[in-house]
């Protein structure tokens, strides 16, 4: 063993090799590619892209549950669930799900003393909300399948939709706009309850569609008021909601339309009318009678001697309160343009491009339709799919993550596809030795349910997992989305055999994409007819 003292030496600037000189370490590589290489600090570009993709998927999943409004703000602290709602912070124990929080929230929003006073009454004398609450407690006791304290999974009945729908709507109002004492008083009053209850749903759809709401002061008796002003981007609308008495024999909504259009409005109008009939209504009768009742009055209805103003009219039917014991109560929304000829159910268009342009023109109204269709009460606080959040689906297939595909062999998942009919996930991997094996995984019931809940983010990234194409316009948007990045030269190459190629060459690329998507859609439709 040598007693020689080790010393560190540094190269002086004059001794330091040039970037293209051999490295002094003797590796045989150029200095710039060996010890002279720049040292990377922080994550690699691949890691950054993967993190951004994962964030995008998480945000897409959250918006799928929570819409375009403010996200749920929540954390756990010292055994308590802490939830910020507007300017108020709520604390509670044993709140594993967002539904648990809503149980606590609605009691406080309506005033616990009022609720307790109602509970002391005979059941038939209690307010409708407390009758629902009593039925809900009985339902939960009857269907409890797990030990107390564990998360219970129950079918979505009309009762659950009615009670927790009201709770969620009140939460959305307080978190995103304003929960007025006036609205709470109307909810507590038996004669105005259902009208106020319906208004909370209308407000919720606008919030979930990304509108900002300014609640009108309906206690101001100097003039009539819309329910609220809804603003999205630079456009504002006056919104009015009306309900009919329950279970009428007809579907004539003319009286409700007239009352809504009499309201003073500073902006273009949205009018919502709830038909308030049982769930077993005939869909064709609903469409025909409602459309006739509205459009049949376009030339006849006057307001204070003047022709009635135009309006986007949405006639809904969500009879949770009339079908409390039924599961998955069907909901209906029918859109009708009152003096708006290019908007509404069944409006004919000469081409798919014309239909697309009408959708762009009335984008705010279509956003409301989508919010209605996607309305759901969140189960988790962070938007996670319940099957993953609560452990029923134990496996996750995340693109970009490494998995042991055989003993001692690890590979990175690059993409995946679920085939529901086979109950399988097809998984594409990449190994360190540049192999690309494709493996399959049998999916459990919980994993399939997680996939169906939000297929686009099942693999931890936002992927196009296809979907049902029921109408020609769906085909058009499928192709338009598929070629949204195609350059003009490529689109012209695709259409090189078109007889109007010379005309196409003079069009801007955005117009070419519309034309190409439309022609592809028509081609597929023609093939399907043969």
Residue 125 pLDDT greater than 70, yes or no: yes
- Do the beta carbons of residue 440 and residue 434 sit within 8 Å? no
Is the pLDDT confidence value at 106 over 60? yes
pLDDT for residue 103 = 94
> Would you state the pLDDT for residue 33?
66
pLDDT attached to residue 265: 92
Q: Is the pLDDT of residue 35 over 50?
A: yes
Placement of tokens 């009768």 in the chain: 285
Structure tokens at 372: 């209605």
CA–CA separation, 41 and 251 (whole Å): 68
Per the CB < 8 A criterion, the answer to whether 320 and 169 are in contact is no
Concatenate the DSSP letters of all residues of 180-219 into one string.
-HHHHHHHHSTTTHHHHHHHHHHHHHHHHTT-EEEE--TT
What pLDDT was estimated at residue 32? 61
- What does the pLDDT read at residue 112? 95
464 pLDDT band, cuts 50/70/90, is: low
Q: 46: which 2 tokens?
A: 């691949």
Average pLDDT of the segment spanning 37-45: 61
Q: Tell me, what's the pLDDT at 4?
A: 38
Token pair for 146: 């797990």
Within 10 angstroms of residue 209's Cβ, the number of other Cβ atoms is 22
The C-alpha atoms of residue 381 and residue 72 are separated, in whole angstroms, by: 6
Q: Which helix (H) or strand (E) holds 413?
A: strand 409-419
d(C-alpha 363, C-alpha 360), whole Å: 5
Residue 398 to residues 395, 433, 459, 463, Cα–Cα distance (Å): 10, 21, 5, 12
**For residue 5, is pLDDT > 60?**
no
**273 in Cβ contact with 314 (< 8 Å):** yes
In degrees rounded to 5, what are phi and psi of residue 138?
-65, -40
Q: What percent of the chain has pLDDT over 90?
A: 58
The pLDDT score that the predictor gives to residue 37 is: 62
Residue with tokens 């648990």: 100
- The pLDDT tens digits of the residues spanning 366-380 come to 999 999 998 999 989
Q: What is the mean pLDDT of the chain?
A: 87
- Which pLDDT band holds residue 9 (cuts at 50, 70, 90)? very low
The predicted structure's pLDDT at residue 7: 39
Q: Which helix (H) or strand (E) holds 235?
A: strand 235-243
With a cut of 80, say whether residue 41 has pLDDT above it: no
The token duo for 450 is: 């997680």
Cα 84 off chain centre by: 21
Q: In terms of Cα–Cα distance, which of 206, 314, 330 is closest to 257?
A: 314
Do 289 and 250 form a contact (C-beta atoms < 8 A)? yes
**H helices present in 9-155, as ranges:** 45-66, 98-110, 112-119, 128-143
- Check residue 413 and give left, alpha or beta (phi > 0: left; psi -120 to 50: alpha): beta
Burial of 113 (0-12, 13-18, 19+ CB in 10 A): exposed
What's the confidence (pLDDT) of residue 466? 54
Contact between 259 and 300 under an 8 Å Cβ cutoff? The reply is no
What gap in Å lies between CA 386 and CA 407, rounded to an integer?
Answer: 31
pLDDT value for 383: 85
Tokens representing 257?
């339309």
Per-residue confidence band for 147, with pLDDT thresholds at 50, 70 and 90: low
**Residue 12: is its pLDDT beyond 60?**
no
* Cα-Cα-Cα-Cα dihedral sign, residues 478, 480, 483, 489: positive
Nearest Cα to Cα of residue 390 among 104, 158, 161, 146? 146
Question: What is the average pLDDT across 146-162?
Answer: 77
Query: For residue 67, what pLDDT is reported?
Result: 87
Q: How large a percentage of the chain has pLDDT more than 70?
A: 89
Task: Provide mean pLDDT across the span 288-297.
Answer: 96
Which of 305-319, 383-397, 473-487 is predicted with the least confidence, judged by mean pLDDT?
Answer: 383-397
**Higher pLDDT pick, 130 / 142:** 130
Task: Please tell me which residue, 50 or 368, carries the higher pLDDT value.
Answer: 368
Choose the most confident range, by mean pLDDT, from 142-156, 276-290, 441-455: 276-290
Span 210-225, mean pLDDT?
82
The confidence band for 385, taking pLDDT boundaries of 50, 70 and 90, is confident
Q: What is the CB neighbour count within 10 angstroms for residue 494?
A: 15
DSSP 8-state symbol, 385: -
Cα-to-chain-centroid distance, residue 277: 27
pLDDT at 469: 56
Lowest mean pLDDT among 75-79, 135-139, 156-160, 221-225: 221-225
Predicted local distance difference test score (pLDDT) of residue 468? 53
For residue 257, give the nearest of 271, 276, 275 by alpha carbon.
271
DSSP states along 72-99? PEEEEETTEEEEEETTEEEEESS--SHH
The C-alpha atoms of residue 209 and residue 195 are separated, in whole angstroms, by 22
């Amino acid at each position: 063993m040598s007693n020689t003292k080790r010393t560190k030496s540094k190269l002086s600037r004059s001794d330091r090799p040039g970037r293209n000189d051999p490295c002094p370490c003797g590796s045989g590589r150029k200095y710039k590619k060996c010890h002279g290489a720049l040292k990377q600090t922080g994550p690699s570009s691949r890691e950054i892209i993967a993190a951004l993709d994962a964030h995008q998927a998480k945000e897409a999943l959250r918006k799928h549950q929570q819409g375009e409004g403010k996200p749920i703000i929540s954390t756990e602290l010292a055994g308590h669930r802490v939830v910020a709602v507007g300017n108020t912070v709520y604390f509670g124990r044993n709140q594993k799900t967002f539904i648990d929080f809503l149980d606590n929230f609605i009691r406080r929003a309506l005033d616990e003393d009022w609720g307790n006073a109602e509970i002391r009454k005979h059941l038939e004398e209690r307010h409708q909300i407390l009758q629902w609450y009593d039925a809900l407690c009985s339902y939960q006791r009857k269907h409890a399948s797990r030990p107390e304290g564990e998360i219970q999974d129950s079918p979505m009945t009309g009762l659950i939709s009615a009670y927790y729908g009201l709770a969620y709507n009140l939460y959305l109002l307080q978190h995103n706009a304003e929960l007025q004492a006036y609205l709470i008083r109307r909810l507590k009053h038996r004669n105005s309850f259902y009208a106020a209850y319906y208004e909370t749903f209308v407000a919720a759809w606008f919030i979930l569609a990304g509108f900002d709401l300014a609640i009108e002061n309906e206690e101001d008796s100097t003039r009539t008021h819309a329910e609220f002003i809804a603003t999205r981007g630079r456009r504002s609308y006056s919104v009015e909601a009306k309900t009919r008495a329950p279970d009428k024999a007809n579907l004539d909504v003319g009286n409700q339309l007239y009352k809504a259009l009499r309201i003073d409005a500073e902006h273009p109008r949205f009018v919502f009318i709830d038909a308030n009939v049982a769930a077993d209504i005939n869909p064709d009768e609903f469409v025909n009678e409602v459309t006739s009742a509205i459009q049949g009055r376009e030339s006849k209805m006057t307001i204070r001697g003047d022709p009635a103003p135009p309006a986007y009219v949405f006639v809904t039917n969500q009879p949770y309160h009339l079908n409390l014991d039924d599961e998955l109560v069907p909901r209906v929304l029918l859109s009708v343009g009152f003096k708006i000829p290019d908007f509404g159910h069944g409006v004919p268009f000469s081409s798919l491009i014309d239909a697309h342009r009408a959708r762009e023109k009335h984008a705010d109204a279509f956003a409301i339709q989508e919010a209605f269709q996607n309305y759901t009460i969140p189960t988790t606080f962070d938007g996670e799919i319940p099957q993953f959040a609560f452990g029923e689906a134990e496996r996750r297939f995340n693109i970009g993550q490494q998995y042991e595909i055989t003993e001692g062999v690890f590979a990175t998942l690059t993409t995946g596809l679920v085939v529901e009919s086979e109950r399988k996930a097809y998984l594409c991997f990449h190994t360190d030795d540049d192999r690309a094996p494709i493996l399959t995984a049998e999916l459990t019931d919980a994993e399939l349910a997680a996939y169906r809940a939000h297929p686009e983010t099942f693999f931890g990234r936002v992927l196009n997992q296809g979907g049902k194409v029921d109408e020609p316009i769906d085909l058009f948007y499928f192709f338009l989305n598929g070629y949204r990045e195609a350059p003009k030269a490529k689109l012209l190459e695709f259409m090189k055999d078109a007889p109007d190629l010379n005309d196409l060459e003079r069009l801007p690329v955005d117009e070419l994409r519309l034309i190409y998507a439309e022609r592809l859609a028509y081609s597929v439709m023609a093939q399907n007819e043969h």
